[in-house]
């Protein structure tokens, strides 16, 4: 079969399965199969596909027809102009979360302007880090825009499997030249401008003070999780359900998606240095409640940023 024929067949199967992005899915899977870019796929429609490639592609198509996201098949997802490694142990990075990254970068660069005579040492934490896409993107972007900043970054997650995914992304994306294996569950890596610690534990894990804290915690209401997963997306329940009690208890204490956030917001306030900021993603249906939690915890200048569809998505507050 030719590349055109195999793509046409895949698009037809995806359409029959009710997938809304049939052609895009087929293109992405072909790029992965051939290890080529989109232009190559478009310009080589008469390329003969080997029998082995055809068999492998058929496996990809069958997986996608079940609803399994393309990113979990290819183990790749672009986020903030960087390709991240992902598995079914972590959420797939979403474009809406890029709003959090951009606002965090803006705040850090503004923070850095206060000190121009010497290198500024900034401590940041990324809570419920998952793939590590938030912290890694923030560090990469800030270091590309200023020379007078050094980072110490703590990335935490209750899932040891997620920590393993984040660790691979730290190595691959930040090009860590030094690696020090420490106590169980913690890895330090970094170059002369960034030191990254990955910590397996609950929320802030009793870490010390920070200048900035970021988080995309589980925030989906408990009763909505099954419905959300019904399409076969296979994202980890523990990274979605905001009402699951500590250590993934099967007994939810509430059904508004805020159980974890109710613990996180006041803890973040306590862990921030004066002048620091906390930025957190949540559902558009929770924005008003989240702002109240921020205000009740003592945060000032509380504001919620809208995502690409105009929904209230990321709330930020300062500790004065």
Predicted local confidence at residue 184, as pLDDT: 46
Tokens of 174: 């930040």
Predicted local confidence at residue 178, as pLDDT: 45
Predicted local confidence at residue 223, as pLDDT: 86
Q: Give residue for tokens 């903030």.
A: 80
Q: Read off the DSSP letter of residue 200.
A: E
Tokens of 147: 């020379």
- Write down the pTM of the prediction: 0.91
Q: Are 315 and 277 in contact (CB under 8 A)?
A: no
Q: How many Å separate Cα 303 from the centre of its chain?
A: 21
Predicted local confidence at residue 245, as pLDDT: 61
Query: What CA–CA distances, in Å, run from 252 to 220, 241, 243, 249?
Result: 12, 9, 5, 7
Cα–Cα dist 7/41, whole Å: 10
Each residue's pLDDT expressed in tens, for the chain with a length of 320 residues: 999 999 999 999 999 999 999 999 999 999 999 999 989 999 999 999 999 999 999 999 999 999 999 999 999 999 999 999 999 999 999 999 999 999 999 999 998 887 666 778 999 999 999 999 999 999 999 999 988 888 999 999 999 999 999 999 998 998 754 444 444 456 655 556 888 989 998 999 876 899 999 999 999 998 888 887 876 678 898 899 998 764 455 455 678 899 999 999 999 999 999 999 999 999 999 999 999 999 999 999 999 999 999 999 999 999 99
Q: Find out if CATH 3.90.79.10 is the number for domain 88-318.
A: no
Q: Are 277 and 317 in contact (CB under 8 A)?
A: yes
């Amino acid at each position: 079969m030719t590349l055109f024929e195999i793509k046409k067949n895949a698009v037809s199967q995806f359409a029959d399965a009710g997938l809304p992005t049939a052609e895009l899915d087929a293109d992405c899977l072909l790029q992965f199969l051939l290890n080529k870019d989109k232009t190559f796929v478009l310009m080589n429609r008469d390329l003969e596909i080997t029998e082995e490639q055809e068999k492998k592609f058929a496996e990809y198509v069958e997986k996608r027809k079940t609803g399994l996201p393309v990113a979990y098949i290819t183990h790749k997802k672009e986020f903030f102009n960087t390709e991240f490694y992902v598995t079914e142990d972590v959420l797939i990075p979403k474009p809406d979360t890029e709003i959090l990254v951009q606002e965090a970068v803006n705040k850090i660069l503004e923070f850095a302007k206060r000190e121009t005579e010497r290198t500024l040492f900034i401590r940041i934490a990324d809570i419920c880090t998952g793939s590590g896409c938030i912290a890694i993107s923030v560090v990469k972007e800030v270091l590309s825009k200023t020379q007078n900043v050094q980072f110490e970054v703590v990335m935490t997650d209750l899932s040891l499997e997620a920590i393993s995914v984040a660790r691979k992304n730290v190595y691959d994306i930040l090009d860590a030249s030094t690696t020090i294996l420490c106590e169980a569950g913690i890895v330090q890596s970094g170059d002369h401008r960034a030191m990254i610690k990955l910590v397996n534990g609950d929320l802030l894990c009793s870490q010390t003070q920070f200048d900035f804290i970021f988080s995309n915690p589980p925030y989906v209401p408990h009763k909505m999780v099954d419905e959300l997963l019904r399409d076969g997306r296979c994202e980890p329940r523990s990274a979605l359900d905001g009402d699951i009690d500590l250590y993934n208890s099967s007994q939810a204490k509430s059904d508004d998606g805020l159980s974890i956030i109710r613990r996180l917001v006041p803890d973040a306030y306590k862990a921030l240095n004066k002048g620091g900021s906390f930025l957190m993603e949540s559902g558009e249906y929770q924005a008003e409640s989240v702002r109240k939690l921020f205000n009740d915890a003592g945060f000032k200048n509380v504001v919620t940023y809208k995502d690409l569809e105009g929904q209230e998505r990321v709330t930020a507050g300062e500790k004065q």
